[in-house]
Amino acid sequence: MKPPKFDYHAPKAVDEALALLARYDGEAKILAGGQSLMPLLNFRLSRPAALIDLNRIPALAYIKEADGSVRFGAMTRQRTIEFSPVVAKRLPLLTEATRWVGHLPIRTRGTIGGSIAHADPSAEYPAVLTALDGEVIARGPKGERVLKPREFFQTYLTTSLAADEILTEVRLPAMSGVAGYAFEEFARRHGDFAIIGIAAVVVRDGSRCSMARLATAGAGPVPVRLRAAEEILEREGFGDDAIARAAAKAQDLVQPDADIHASSDYRRHLTGVLTGRAIKRAMAKAGR
Amino acid sequence: MADKSELVTVRMKVNGVQHEGRCEPRKLLVDFLREDLGLTGTHVGCEHGICGACTILLDGEAARSCIMLAVQADGAELQTIEGLAQNGKLHPLQQAFHEHHGLQCGFCTPGMLMTALDFLRVKPDPSEADIREGISAVLCRCTGYQGIINAVKAAAPILRRG
């Protein structure tokens, strides 16, 4: 269980990394935090000609507030996000979701850009990106593209990043200070990948719901935004019946695959249960 | 920077001592520690970042040395299990593991201790639930965990006092 041989490059700047990517013409892999790629290399499930390690590019690690959103350099560590006061204030959903990402020693190395570019559908960050309807910035030889989650996530471990592009930034719109939020997840053990995870954000106006955002982890090949369930809350408010109907709708909206961890039916069932719990917990936290 | 079979020079400070070695870029940090530096206290378990046996402190933060390349630690400061005891005296966390039967075979213990050390810095006054979650980063196949939980609980106030 040792990685196969590869050329190793640790560029100091993004342009240098892009030039290397172009030179290897699709045969190189980007190494971010390495918490998914290194196991794949150790198992030799991946045999790239070269690794382009972004860990020596300090300009890719930052958390900045700008124009009502928070921008994360792709190499910002999950651990930094977990303890960031800016994130706790502007994106408390992300703070909560981060505690579900692996374990603390994994979050020491794991990055926001790496997790999103890896596009494991049961990972937490793609679900948060989808619930908050954020954006990712892809940089290539021809410049930058701004991609919404729906354009970015294609299927299991597959994104619309081109072979000569690097994900350089993640942008998440700051949450309203009165929004309630919850990240609910079920895994066999805390720290394992989610069997199902649900990200929820709601804004309440008395018993009415003026905005609801719901997205899944683990319920299909890409994160699913549960728009029809959100609409039930926005139309009917936060009564027990409305929440039950939204949860039932969530269950209908997903078509999870079965795997060694869970059957499709079980995942669908969990989607409903966890959506209901997430809405209730988010609602309880919402101001007004 | 380095082609497949070219060796790279790696320099790092481990437990306060400066080391230098040459290895292939694909060499895992845990193998570099064990084979090149002779620091065999850090154990190789699952080799894919699940079991936590190889956990070390990288610039003060717990990380898994089996899913990191040695060349990535060039210029870093590491702490491994060998750095815990001072002048033949066990670190308070080691002493607590000893007193509370926090180990049997000892295979997971280096990773468990480095993980617990980082955890107690982040959460100096943890609840039992916090401890259970904190140490869930490391698998132990002997103790049933209860002794480990007791040990971490006992060490917390000692480490808080410094």
Other beta carbons within 10 Å of B137: 26
* pTM listed for this prediction: 0.97
A6, pLDDT greater than 90: yes
Which whole number is the average pLDDT over A68-96?
98
DSSP string, A104-163: HHHHHH-BHHHHHHHT-TTSHHHHHHHHTT-EEEEEETTEEEEE-HHHHEEETTEES--T
Nearest by CB to A8, from B28, B63, B71: name it. B71
A2 belongs to a structural domain = no
Cα distance from B64 to chain A (closest Cα, Å)?
Answer: 6
Average pLDDT over residues A133-161: 97
**CATH number reported for the structural domain that contains residue A224 in this entry:** 3.30.390.50
Residue with tokens 């039967």: B101
Residues of B with CB under 8 A from a CB of A: 1-5, 8, 24-26, 28, 31, 47-50, 52, 55, 58, 61-64, 66-69, 71-72, 115, 118-119, 122, 133-134, 136-137
Beta strands in chain B (DSSP E): 8-14, 17-23, 55-58, 61-64, 77-79
Residues with Cβ < 8 Å from A262, sequence gap 6 or more? A195, A196, A256, A270
Which amino acid makes up residue A103?
A: H
Domain endpoint, select from A172, A195, A217: A172
ipTM of model:
0.96
Residue A288 confidence (pLDDT)? 67
Q: Are strands A50-53 and A28-31 parallel, antiparallel or unpaired?
A: parallel
Domain encompassing residue A82: 62-172
Q: How many domains is chain A built from?
A: 3
Q: Give the nearest chain A residue to B54 (CA atoms).
A: A105
Among the partner-chain residues A5, A109, A191, the one whose CB lies closest to the CB of B4 is: A5
Which domains are assigned to chain B? 8-83 (3.10.20.30), 92-161 (1.10.150.120)
| Nearest CB partner across the interface for A6, out of B8, B26, B133 | B26
A19 contact B CB<8A: no
What is the CATH classification number for the domain harbouring A20?
3.30.43.10
Query: Scanning every residue of chain B, which has its alpha carbon at the shortest distance from the alpha carbon of A33?
Result: B68
Contacts A109 to B, Cβ<8 Å: 58, 63-64, 67-68
Residues A86 and A143 placed together within one structural domain of the fold: yes
Considering the domain architecture, whether residues A49 and A71 belong to the same structural domain is answered as no
**Boundary of a domain, candidates A172, A205, A223:** A172
From A125, A156, A172, the end of a domain falls on: A172
**What is the tens place of the pLDDT at every residue in A201-254?**
999 998 899 999 999 999 999 999 999 999 999 999 999 999 999 999 999 999
pLDDT in the model for residue A39: 97
pLDDT in tens, B75-128: 999 999 999 999 999 999 999 999 999 999 999 999 999 999 999 999 999 999
Give the residue carrying structure tokens 């080391």.
Answer: B19
Question: Does residue A135 form part of some domain?
Answer: yes
